[in-house]
Structure 1
Amino acid sequence: MTMEPLVCADTATRVSSVLNRDVKQFGKKHMFDANEETCWNSDQGSHQWVTLDFARTVRVSQLHIQFQGGFSSRRCTLEGCRTGEELVKISDLYPEDIHAMQISFGTLQAGRAALFQVEETALDKLKITFENSTDFFGRIVVYHLQVLGERL
């Protein structure tokens, strides 16, 4: 299987909130722009989330995520579904509260242990829910989010 980035111009993305509704400075597009100085910054509240609606069915193999330390999630829930179906839980992820890039693997690769596991699943929609924010007000800051796998 050849892995490739699955988030592209045809991927419809939504987020739960944007800090002060300032989409120009903190909008969802900044998670995918590969710019180290921009980020998505949620507003206050519990259970912030990101949804990705792919243009065609994909098999997710890896998730790369970079939080701002102090504004990360203690637990992330991954849910997915095929078109016309209800979201079902795929897995829980337990990222660290650090600024470094964190990478998940669907399977162990090259003898490396995964920071957290992603169950490889064919889907059309992926939802990542950020629970238990390390920020007192429930804000989440994501500098980089990349989903890798294959288009089916």
Structure 2
Amino acid sequence: MDATSLINSNTRIKVSSVLNRDTTSFGKQHLIDGTEETCWNSEQGLPQHILVDFGSPATVQGINLTFQGGFVGKTCVALGSTADQPNDYNISLARFYPQDINPMQSFAVSCDQPIQRLKLIFEESTDFYGRITIYKLDILGTR
């Protein structure tokens, strides 16, 4: 089965922080709104993270991210949790190292079992203050 976007109307997203608490301008909704002019902007400080709850179990195969150059997560970890233990992110899916560039970047994920939630952790940033700016997030896989 071919991988498709796992993000739909049932997907819930939480973020670690929003720049100046301005959720209207820089909130989590901008990660998946399909508009190139909007973005999620984190507050300063590391680590930052994004939590994605798919609403039902899914097998994740890839993560697509479009960062703003200069505000890129240099070291990223993807962890998963199952429906029966949603707050226990004990399934290691990937560790990846995005480039400090603007174009979309794709990262393969190794997921042997369906997960309910995905946690993307940005351990390091190319920004001196630890801010992360993402224009687009997509998670690919199968349900």
TM-score calculated relative to the size of structure 2: 0.93
Give the deviation of 1:120 after TM superposition.
Answer: 2.7
Match in the other structure for 1:5: 5
Match in the other structure for 1:109: none
The aligned length equals 139
2:110 is aligned, of 119, 127, 134, to 119
Q: Does 1:15 find its partner at 2:7?
A: no
Q: Does 1:96 find its partner at 2:84?
A: no
1:45 is matched by which residue type in structure 2?
G
Distance in structure 1 (CA, Å) of the matches to 2:93 and 2:104: 22
**Bigger mean CA offset, 40-49 vs 1-10:** 1-10
Structure 2 stretches lacking a partner, 5+ long = none
Deviations 1:97-121 (A, max 9, x none): 111100123xxxxxxxxxxxx1134
Backbone CA RMSD of aligned residues: 1.0
Instruction: Calculate percent identity across the aligned residue pairs.
Output: 42
1:142 is matched by which residue type in structure 2?
I
Match in the other structure for 1:112: none
1:8 is matched by which residue type in structure 2?
N
- Structure 1's consecutive aligned runs of 4 or more residues displaced over 4 angstroms after TM superposition are none
Give the deviation of 1:2 after TM superposition.
Answer: 2.5
TM-score calculated relative to the size of structure 1: 0.88
1:100 is matched by which residue type in structure 2?
P
Match in the other structure for 1:44: 44
Deviations 1:64-105 (A, max 9, x none): 101000000111000001023221222211111111100123
What SS does the aligned partner of 1:74 have? strand
Q: Does 1:129 find its partner at 2:121?
A: yes
Match in the other structure for 1:111: none
